[in-house]
């Protein structure tokens, strides 16, 4: 069995951002040489998420509105009493998840219709990374 590890680095200019990272993950799968296996894509920061969904602008706005209703940035968070200002980002990350696992078939990501991999940033403006771990034959 082969194993391959790569880090993807991001630094957004805004506090919140959605980045479609599907092609970068596919490139890592190609570099791995794995034809049949799995790829784990994991946000390595507790204020960012990786998830799979449709790359449709209205849906991204719907996510923003939903997350802001559930965990408003301006709300009172005990975590912020430590001097941080990102209590909402921790809650939003829990809702959106930290990782995805995708099957690899014939050296390609094996998706359903419309599926794409996204990196979701909740506090931005500093370098953060995503782990891509490929295993298989």
Tell me whether residue 99 is in a domain.
yes
pLDDT at site 96: 96
pLDDT at site 28: 98
Collect the ranges in the chain with pLDDT lower than 50.
none
Tell me whether residue 79 is in a domain.
no
Query: Mean pLDDT score of the chain, rounded to an integer?
Result: 97
CATH of the domain at 40: 2.60.120.460
Range of the domain at 98: 2-74+85-136
Q: Output 65-70 pairs: Cβ under 8 A, ≥24 positions apart.
A: 67/92, 67/95, 67/96, 70/95
Tell me whether residue 80 is in a domain.
no
pLDDT at site 103: 98
Tell me whether residue 93 is in a domain.
yes
pTM here?
0.94
Smallest CA-to-CA distance from 69 within 95, 97, 98 is with 95
Tell me whether residue 61 is in a domain.
yes
pLDDT at site 33: 98
Give the integer Cα–Cα distance in Å for 19 and 117.
9
**Tally of domains within the chain:** 1
How many CA atoms lie within 13 Å of 85's alpha carbon, on the beta-carbon side?
5
């Amino acid at each position: 069995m082969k194993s391959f590890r790569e880090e993807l680095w991001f630094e957004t200019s805004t506090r919140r951002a959605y980045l479609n990272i599907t092609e970068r993950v596919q490139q890592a799968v190609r570099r791995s040489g794995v034809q049949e296996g799995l790829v784990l894509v994991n946000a390595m920061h507790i204020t960012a998420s990786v998830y799979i969904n449709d790359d449709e602008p209205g849906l991204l706005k719907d996510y923003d509105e939903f997350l802001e209703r559930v965990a408003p940035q301006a709300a009172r968070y005990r975590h912020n009493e430590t001097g941080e200002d990102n209590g909402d980002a921790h809650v939003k990350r829990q809702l959106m998840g930290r990782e995805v696992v995708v099957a690899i078939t014939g050296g390609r990501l094996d998706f359903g219709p419309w599926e794409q991999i996204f990196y979701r940033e909740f506090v931005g403006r500093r370098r953060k990374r995503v782990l891509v771990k490929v295993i298989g034959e």
